[in-house]
């Protein structure tokens, strides 16, 4: 009997994320050729990780204790007005994903592949 709280496909995705979590920055920055790119990627990943900790802050009591600090890292006052907070989070996420996309594209255009 499967006791997982996540459906099979979501569980696989969650498992893959957990394997990469913590080494995401290192995995991406290994292929980047300059410190500016590495810094942008590190900052983007830090925001993504903070947003993930905020997301976990509601249902998990230990994470909820850190919610004021995590919100503060993103410039959101505690207690938040959630409609405003989600707008800020959404904007920051879009910006971070754009940075990651642009750095991968730039590196790919320089080398022909991110794996080389």
Contact 41, 25 (CB under 8 A): yes
Between 54 and 90, the higher pLDDT residue? 90
What is the spatial distance between Cα 94 and Cα 30, in angstroms, rounded to a whole number? 23
**What distances in angstroms separate CA 37 from CA 41, 83, 87, 98, 106, one per listed residue?**
6, 32, 26, 13, 10
Residue 102 has pLDDT above 80, yes or no: yes
Give pLDDT tens digits for 9-63.
544 444 444 444 455 566 666 667 788 888 898 899 889 988 888 887 766 667 7
What is the spatial distance between Cα 109 and Cα 48, in angstroms, rounded to a whole number? 25
Question: Helix 35-57 crosses helix 82-111 at what angle (to 10 degrees)?
Answer: 150
How far is CA 87 from its chain centroid?
16
Between 70 and 114, the higher pLDDT residue? 70
Residue 91 has pLDDT above 50, yes or no: yes
Contact 90, 51 (CB under 8 A): no
What is the spatial distance between Cα 111 and Cα 26, in angstroms, rounded to a whole number? 19
Rounded to two decimals, the pTM is 0.68
Q: Which of 55-59, 91-95, 99-103 has the lowest mean pLDDT?
A: 55-59
């Amino acid at each position: 009997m499967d006791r997982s709280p996540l459906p099979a496909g979501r569980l696989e995705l969650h498992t893959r994320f957990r394997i990469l979590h913590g080494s995401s920055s290192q995995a991406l920055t290994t292929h980047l050729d300059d410190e500016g790119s590495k810094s942008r990627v590190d900052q983007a990943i830090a925001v993504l990780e903070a947003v993930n900790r905020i997301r976990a802050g509601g249902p998990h009591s230990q994470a909820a204790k850190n919610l004021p600090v995590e919100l503060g890292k993103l410039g959101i006052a505690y207690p938040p007005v959630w409609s405003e907070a989600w707008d800020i989070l959404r904007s920051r996420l879009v910006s971070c994903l754009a940075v990651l996309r642009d750095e991968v594209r730039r590196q790919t255009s320089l080398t022909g592949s991110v794996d080389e």
